[in-house]
Structure 1
Amino acid sequence: MTTPSPGRYELTLVVDGTTVAYGWWDQPSTAETKWSDWRRQHGRDGARVILVDTADGSVVRRWPQLTPRT
């Protein structure tokens, strides 16, 4: 028996350094909607919301945005 793939797009919510929620979706539009929902619901100091395309490991969206150091 094989385990089905969890989905291409992985969404992770980290609060104060602890992963408190995660999910996977195959459709990018669904993953983007969930990212926006989680950011709106949980966006505060100490929280991070990260959406990754597991096909290539790229970060699709993150909150808060990283600012480059000068």
Structure 2
Amino acid sequence: MFQNLTGWHALIILGVILLIFGAAKLPALARSVGQSMRILKTEARTVESEAAQSVDAVAPRTVASEARADT
């Protein structure tokens, strides 16, 4: 998709972004994107660790425990 992008294309895209957002708003925009990415990573790690803990908490049933439950 981006194989045909050259340096000139990148400069044109950068110029359009500067025109749309303005030079004063770009640092705030970059800061908010970085903060959003940080929050997303933290939440993903939390969900992953909670899923791992719930899998560890549920012990798999063995044949011996099923036999004891039947008697």
Do these two structures clear the TM 0.5 threshold for a shared fold by scoring above it?
A: no
From the two aligned structures, give the one with the greater strand fraction. 1
Higher relative contact order, structure no. (Cα contacts within 8 Å, ≥ 6 residues apart): 1
TM-score scaled to structure 2, two decimals?
Answer: 0.29
